[in-house]
Amino acid sequence: MTLLDDLRAQLARYDDDALTALGNRGLLRRAYKDLETQTAEIDAAADAEAVAVRVSGHVVRFDARGPAQAQCGCPAAGVCQHILAAAIALQRSAASGTESVADTSTADVDATRRDAAAVATSDPNLDPNLDPSPNPSVDADAAVDAHGAWLAPLHAALLAFDAAALRKHAGKAGYRWAWQYVQDLDPERGVAIGGDKHVRMAFAHPRIGFRYMGGGLDALIADAQPAQIEKYRVAAVLAYRRAYGATIEAPEPTGRARAAALDLGMDHALPEGGEAVREEARARLRERTKRLLLECVELGLSHLSPAIEQRFSTLAVWAQGAEYYRLALALRRLADHVEWLNARAGGADEHRLCDEIAFVYGLIAALDTAAARGAAPAHLLGRARNRYDAAARLELLGLGAHPWRSASGYVGLTMLFWSPSEQAFYSCTDARPEQQRGFDPIARYRAPGPWAGLGAPQQATGRRIVLDGAQLSAQGRLSGSDATVATVQALAPDASFLAQLLVCAQWSDAAQARAERKRSLLAEPQPMRDWMVLRPARFGEPRFDAARQTLVWPLFDEAGERLDLELPYSAYTEHAIGRIETAANAGVPPGTCVVARMRDDGDAVAEPLSLIAPDAATARSPERSPVDALYFDPAPAAQSGLAGALEGAWKRLRRVGARTDAPVAPATMASEIPAPLRELRHALLAQAERGIGPTVGAALTRTLEARLRRLRDAGFHGFPPTLAADAPLPEHLLRLHYLQLQYARLYDGGAESLEG
């Protein structure tokens, strides 16, 4: 097969989206216009190693690497319209010839399958029984069996890239980064693999996708251009290998670890510094932190001195310098909590402190295990600050906004969006210190920005927003960067706003979904996944709990289960509370949905943001938006009159502190935690509060082992049968406390977070 045939076979896999990713939409349009008026001349005989195509007076040269590495004689840098026009001309020449990739014979299909099988059997790290279909998290369209003629050669080529080729492409540091990145990926949501005529691989964060139509690693075409694109290409190949069951080679050890493995002796050992020094510092930090945690339990949480608070603060600074950002934050919380206890502050609680100490102990143990394997999982290390990465293009639906004030003295406005394509919530926040004059979160809703092209956050509510040049964090937060351009669009005449949302009508399903996400105490927080669109079967009567200064609005699903919407009274929630009372008095139309954030505790409680009316689902005019922003929108005319008077009466009663309603008992979704677990928790908390003196060791050991036997008899085999003699009693107490916290989390996925 000649080079021209190879290029035609490769270009047959390009569609308009792939050509757009290679250049951009404007270049592709100009390329098609050039071909409408001019004829491209193909010269494959001029050079055995290249194919030349003359188009619009310029010569484009292709080699075996394909159009991604084609060169044009025009002065434009990178991919130009002439390269795209030449690629389209080669595509058309294949379609008009006698040989067509689309007409691949059965023998050719069998040959490509044999090529894929040969690669699989030649790789010692690959499962010989490998199914060409990837794991269930991969799109079924990518299965080689379904499109063997197109995808089998690409499948074989991607699996044929070995570690040496990947290191050569990205460098050793780039390969190490890519390997760790793939290790940290969520197999279900972190990467999507699919394709019809070519292979598509897309990462959730940063939002970057690759298309592979054949060729070398340079032929992986990205739809975004982050810095050091080579390491992202390597990550895409490693993610593809993992998805298809192939092992991926770990990076080479660095620094002192490599020198120790080679046993060069002291005279030839590598000098200390860099990563080796950091790993030693981290090991010392973990040991010192563990020692202080055990000391706190031994002394008793009711007897901690200000010196303990200072030591936690010092360790927090050390952890920040060692790039253990999650540990640093947890240690700062411990220091603050000890300070509150010494000051006898109202928020101090020895039981809560014990839970936090057990959590830090579990985090230290996980970091020890990861360090022993030479790994550094991102969810354990944490992040120094929110990092925003470029997202090529985002299409969002505006769901409203809410003003807020934090306990740390910040005020801000947060907008919420839904991405129909990603099936995920995103948010954008504009915040300032409360002392900064001139910033009003309520007025910010109608002020320009935060992106070019958006007149105000109000204009995004209930409309379709297209963001170009968006900056997105791993937690789903959008940056208010001036470089982002927003285009506000109305829905299509036959489009339904509600039909594009993921609606929950069963509260048990919501509780189960949240429990699945929070099964591990060390799972990384995902605040955007706490948002939901709820469709109640029936709305209860809202009542204002004057004792807690909180509005409680019960919602009931089809099974009669209750979920409470709660809004604590403040200057920022006053309008929303009045709107809810007005809407309830006027009668909420059946089928109305509520956008709400599930609260992170054991009760079935959510905080409402907006209402979505079913009869306004296809409305286009600004006067009738499908989304009713409770914090800002005025009440509809149909809800004025008597309801408005009642709303004013409620406000006046609250301002004078009138107790018009009895306290409202919260609903609960929490599963009943078995008695042996509850009893163990109470015993551990009481002992940690008192401390472990030298005279209680033997009796405490017998008591704890008796409880362990009872727990194992009840089916809790995660607990050890006895207490090992190689660990002190304070460490056993923290281990058992962490285990019971983990079991409690499994029983109640909505249990309160230990990280804020």
**Which of 469-483, 555-569, 660-674 has maximum average pLDDT?**
555-569
Domain check: are 124 and 218 in the same one?
yes
Name the pLDDT band for 274 (thresholds 50, 70, 90).
low
Domain end residue (candidates: 330, 364, 381) = 381
Rounded Cα–Cα distance for residues 364 and 362 (Å): 5
Same domain flag for 545 and 640: yes
**pLDDT score of 463 more than 70:** yes
| CATH number of residue 447's parent domain | 2.40.50
Is residue 280 within 8 Å of 260, Cβ to Cβ?
no
* Helix (H/G/I), strand (E/B), else coil: 434: coil
pLDDT value of position 705: 93
Highest mean pLDDT among 35-39, 203-207, 382-386, 687-691: 687-691
Whether 225 and 112 map to the same domain: the answer is: yes
Do 629 and 552 sit in the same domain of this protein? yes
User: Is 532 within the bounds of a domain?
Assistant: yes
Domain co-membership, 163 together with 73? no
Q: What pLDDT, on a 0 to 100 scale, did the predictor assign at position 291?
A: 96
467, pLDDT greater than 50:
yes
Question: For position 621, what pLDDT does the model report?
Answer: 46
Q: Is the pLDDT of residue 216 over 50?
A: yes
pLDDT for 409 beyond 80: no
Per-residue pLDDT at 478 exceeds 50: yes
* Total number of domains in the chain: 6
Same-domain check for residues 305 and 349: yes
Which residues, at least 6 apart from 83, have a Cβ–Cβ distance to it below 8 Å? 22, 23, 60, 67, 70, 72
Name the domain boundary from 597, 620, 655: 655
Mean pLDDT (the chain, rounded): 80
604-648 per-position pLDDT tens digit: 789 999 999 886 544 444 456 889 999 998 876 545 444 444 455
- According to DSSP, the β-strands at 221-222 and 388-405 are unpaired
Q: 457 and 404 in one domain? A: yes
pLDDT at 702: 92
Same domain? For 734 and 608 the reply is no
DSSP reduced 3-state for 754: coil
Q: What's the confidence (pLDDT) of residue 492?
A: 66
Question: Given pLDDT bands bounded at 50, 70 and 90, which one contains residue 298?
Answer: very high
Neighbours of 306 (CB within 10 A): 11
The pLDDT value recorded for residue 753 is: 53
Would you say residue 599 lies in a domain? Answer: yes
The pLDDT of residue 107: 39
By residue range, what is the domain housing residue 154?
106-243
List pLDDT tens digits, range 654-676: 444 434 444 445 454 445 788 89
- Do 59 and 72 touch, CB atoms closer than 8 A? yes
Residue 688 predicted with pLDDT over 70: yes
Are 318 and 411 contained in the same domain? no
Q: At residue 744, does pLDDT exceed 50?
A: yes
Domain boundary among 360, 381, 402: 381
Q: Given pLDDT bands bounded at 50, 70 and 90, which one contains residue 548?
A: confident
CA atoms within 13 A on the CB side of 11: 27
The band of 751, judged by pLDDT with boundaries at 50, 70 and 90, is: very low
Does position 483 have pLDDT exceeding 50, yes or no? yes
Has residue 251 been placed in a domain? Answer: no
Q: Which run of H or E residues covers position 171?
A: helix 163-184
Residue 616 or residue 155, greater confidence:
155
User: According to the model, what pLDDT value does residue 182 have?
Assistant: 85
Q: Specify the range with the lowest mean pLDDT, choosing from 26-30, 64-68, 381-385.
A: 381-385
In this prediction, residue 234 has a pLDDT band, given cuts at 50, 70 and 90, of very high
Nearest in space to 400 (alpha carbons), one of 501, 514, 541, 526: 501
In a domain, 756, yes or no: no
Residue 595 has pLDDT above 90, yes or no: yes
Tokens representing 537 are 């079967």
Residue 22's pLDDT band, with cuts at 50, 70 and 90, is: confident
In the prediction, which pLDDT does 77 show?
82
| 294 within a domain of the structure (yes/no) | yes
Percent of the chain beyond pLDDT 70? Answer: 79
User: Are 426 and 292 found together in one domain?
Assistant: no
pLDDT at residue 617, as a whole number: 45
Label residue 497 by pLDDT band (50, 70, 90). confident
Whether residue 439 is contained in a domain is answered as yes
Of the candidate ranges 102-111, 202-211, 348-357, 629-638, the one whose mean pLDDT is the lowest = 102-111
The verdict on 230 and 300 lying in the same domain is no
pLDDT surpassing 90 at residue 738 = yes
Instruction: Assess if residue 301 is contained within a domain.
Output: yes
Residue 664 lies in a domain: no
3 state SS of 360: helix
Burial per residue of 87-104, b for 16 or more beta-carbon CB atoms within 10 angstroms, e otherwise: bbbbbebbeeeeeebeeb
- Residue 59 is encoded by which pair of tokens? 């010569």
Of the chain, the percentage scoring pLDDT greater than 90 comes to 37
Average of pLDDT values for 730-750? 86
**Does residue 598 register a pLDDT over 80?**
yes
Per DSSP, what are the bridge partners of residue 610? Answer: 595, 629
Could you tell me if 299 and 412 lie in one domain?
no
Asked if 111 and 28 count as a contact pair (C-beta separation under 8 A), the reply is: no
| pLDDT bracket for residue 344 (50, 70, 90) | confident
Among the listed residues 454, 458, 479, the one whose alpha carbon sits nearest the alpha carbon of residue 469: 479
Q: How confident is the model at residue 111, as a pLDDT?
A: 40
